Each structure stands twice: as structure tokens, then as C-alpha cells.
Structure 1
Amino acid sequence: MLFSNPQSNSWLVNKLLKLKQVVFPLIKLRLQNGETARFWSDNWTPFGDLHTHLSGTNSRLGIPLHATVASLYRNGTWSLPPARSEAQIELYVYLTTVELNSSQDYYEWEINGQVQTTYRTGRLYDYLCALKPDVVWYDAVWISRAIPRHSFHTWLVIQDRLPTRDRLLKWGLQLEGRCLLCNSNPESRDHLFFSCNYSYDLWAMVARRLQLVPYRHWPITIQQLIALPPPASQRILTRLAWQATLYWLWTERNTRLHTQMFRSVDQIFKLLDRQLKNKLQSFRDTNPTRSSIMMQSWFRFG
């Protein structure tokens, strides 16, 4: 069999072979002439892997390993050994409904009983990982028309997966543990957003534009962003600005770490303000009314 020797295969091929049992149910062979349909190794019946269904791991019931379905069908009848188990009877009953023709066999993707006309990574991911209920902070992170890197960064922040200094110290790295923004308190996710005086000053400037009460405590801030009231345009604007604040604070933190360059809160706010303005203007092509409302809201108290 092709790729049968693990030692001669590449690492990638061996990894794919290990996924065979996971992928097997998704690749359905649609039986036509049966000439390319392998009796034992293709997924051509409702019973899945016939080795398992017929207990054929140690005994192939007289059917060769590489036998095709067509090779077992002669003159309109099936040439198969007598049934000795309920599983064989089930297969033979199914075969009474099968008639081979002159068309070519073909494969289809089938996920949860639905044929897929195109391959979609997202749908396959949902199948493999199983659907789970949305987390409570989902709407605050994955915003429609958001800046992708901001949303991803926010997801990292909420999951507490940023390499903050408290985490690096836990990993055993020898380094200074103080916050790079205020240089006074230990650096952690909750400190950076927004217990730190520097970060809180920036968030307060942004919140003032949004007519929002700024909080220093991370859990309270998260609850605030989750429970934002209507209208939708103001809710989207607030979450966009909040994500931008998280992103620019982390950018400033890394800039200080790697280049020893320090910017004031006002300088960071100007960068954030310009980026947010450009993003709001990009809505104009698809939703000019919403774009205007959000722009007015952002600059009303500027």
C-alpha cells in the first residue's frame, strides 16, 4: 500500500496518516461503476470502515485487501462469501439496492450528513472541535467590521495570554518585573488594563469621548463592555475604541521594551484617534448613515 512504511515517509505524510480515522467519515465515495472503489479502504457504504463493521481486521472473509467493488460484481450479481454475522447480512441487504453503471466513481465531502460543494475550513473546524456555546464576552471581541489585529489582540488579553512580565517570571525567565509604562508596580494583565496610571489616563481620554465612565479594574471594565446599551452604532464605536486602546497600550509597552522610545499619553491618543477616524470613514461605502453617526459621536466631545 502507498505510504505503508512510516520510516520512509516524511513527517507530514505520517501526521496525515494518523488523521485517517478522523478524515475517513468525511470523504464519501459515490459508487458508479465500482472500478476505483476499494472494497476495504473506501467509504462507499453507510457502514463506514468495513474492516470495523465486518470485523475484518484479522480476517478479510476471503476478499482480497485491494479488491475493488467492481471485481465482486459479475453479470449483475454479487460474488461474496456466505453471511456469517449480522453485520454481513446488513451489508448484503444494502448491496441489493446497489446497481453499478458505466459512470465513473467520484468523491464528495460530507459533514454531518450534508454534502459540501466547496471545502470550507471553518465548517471543518466546527465539525472537528464540536460547537460550543459562545462565551459571554464574544460580542465585545468579535465585532463586525472590526480591525482584525485589534480583535485578535483583545482575545489574547481576555484569555490572559500576552507575555506580560508576571507570566514571564512564572516561566522562569530572569527579568525585571516592573511595569514598562509606569515603572512602579508589577506588570500583569490586570495592571496594564487599567490599574496602571499611564494606561488609565489614556483610557480616561478615550472614555470621555465615548461618554463612558472609565474603570481601573479589569473585571468591571469587561462587564461594562459586555453590557453596553443601545444604540448599536454607539455600542460598536465604544468597543472599537476600547480595542484600539488595548492595542496601542501594548504597542507602546513593546516599543519601550525593544527600542527604548517613550511616548506620552497625548501622543498615543493622537495615533489612536487617527486610526479610529480612518476606520469609521471606511464604513461610509456600505453604511453612510452609521458612519456619520459614529463620526459625530466620536468627535462631539473632542
Structure 2
Amino acid sequence: MDKPHVSRIITSNLCVLCGERPETHAHLFFKCSYSSRVWNAIISKVGIVIPPMRWDCLLQWAATNFHHKGKFDHMMVRHAITSSVYFLWQERNARVFNNHHKEAATLSKEAMMQLRILLLHYKKPIPAR
């Protein structure tokens, strides 16, 4: 399923986050201007660089490059990616089903807070901002 479009609920095929392009998974998570602001805020905090790639390659890239479960940096990157995807999908659904909108800065702060909570048991300091 490439189009996360729900018939009868969404009357347009445009991305509900930015309203600029047709909504596909690739657009929603990587090319959308709203999503880009969220991703950039999160990855700048954790200090990673995600190379440009298709949506379907992201998980394979992360699994290949960050596979050590005991390494803090690897765990942080995996959780940063999953938190970003989760919070973007939740925002999309909040807009579709509840007509509730959050600013990208607010969403990225919430995702970072969740990331810090997930990683609290590690000894290395977690970025606060």
C-alpha cells in the first residue's frame, strides 16, 4: 500500500501534513516539508546523518549500520527513527480523524521527549533540547 489514503474520510489525495503533494509513504515520511522539519530537528539533536534514500530502504539501512543492541549510539539512532515515524504517523492521523494540528517544532519536541524516556536507563547523557 503506497497511498495512505482512506476513502470516504480523506477527500483529497494531497498530503495532510503539508498539502503540497500527493500523499504516499515516501512523501509523508521524507519529502514532505512538515516531516522534513521534524526529521531535521530530531536528527540534529542525536547527531546522525541519514543519507537520502527511499522509504523502503530506511529500515534496511538502519538495521545494517546500527545493529548492535548494546551500543548506546546504535540504540539511540534506531529509537530516533522509530519515534520520528511514530509521531509523524500519529500527527497525520490526528489531522485526518480529529482535525487536530500541531506545529512541527511541538511534534519534534514530543518525539525527543519520548526518545529520552526510552533511553533513560543508559548512562550516556541524552540531548535535552
Query: 1:191 corresponds to which letter in structure 2?
Result: H
Identify the match of residue 197 of structure 1 among 33, 51, 57: 33
CA drift of 1:191 comes to 1.1
Counterpart in the other structure of 2:64: 227
Structure 2, unaligned runs of 5 or more: none
Which structure is richer in relative contact order (CA contacts within 8 A, separation 6 or more)?
A: 2
Q: CA separation of 1:249/1:216 partners in 2, compared to 1, >3 Å: closer, same or farther?
A: farther
SS in 1 for 2:90: helix
Q: CA separation of 1:173/1:253 partners in 2, compared to 1, >3 Å: closer, same or farther?
A: closer
Identify the match of residue 271 of structure 1 among 103, 110, 114: 110
CA drift of 1:227 comes to 2.2
1:266-293 deviation per Cα after TM superposition (whole angstroms, max 9, x unaligned): 1001111222222222x3xxxxxxx112
Query: 1:198 corresponds to which letter in structure 2?
Result: Y
Q: Percent identity?
A: 23
For the pair 1:258 / 2:97, whether they are aligned, the reply is yes
Identify the match of residue 181 of structure 1 among 5, 17, 36: 17
Q: CA separation of 1:174/1:263 partners in 2, compared to 1, >3 Å: closer, same or farther?
A: closer
> How large is the Cα RMSD of the aligned pairs?
2.6
Richer in helix (by share): 2
Between Structure 1 and Structure 2, how many residues are aligned? 126
CA drift of 1:264 comes to 0.8
Identify the match of residue 292 of structure 1 among 94, 113, 123: 123
1:20-42 deviation per Cα after TM superposition (whole angstroms, max 9, x unaligned): xxxxxxxxxxxxxxxxxxxxxxx
Distance 1:222 1:188 in 2: 17
> Could you state the TM-score of these two structures normalised by the residue count of structure 1?
0.37
Q: CA separation of 1:224/1:210 partners in 2, compared to 1, >3 Å: closer, same or farther?
A: farther
Structure 1, unaligned runs of 5 or more: 1-159, 284-290
Distance 1:174 1:192 in 2: 15
Judge conservation of contact 2:91–2:101 (CA < 8 Å) in 1. Answer: yes
Distance 2:10 2:107 in 1: 30
Counterpart in the other structure of 1:240: 79
Richer in strand (by share): 1
CA drift of 1:234 comes to 0.9
Query: 2:101 corresponds to which letter in structure 1?
Result: F
Counterpart in the other structure of 1:164: 4
Q: Which structure's CA Rg is the greater one? A: 1
Distance 1:270 1:203 in 2: 11
Distance 2:80 2:48 in 1: 11
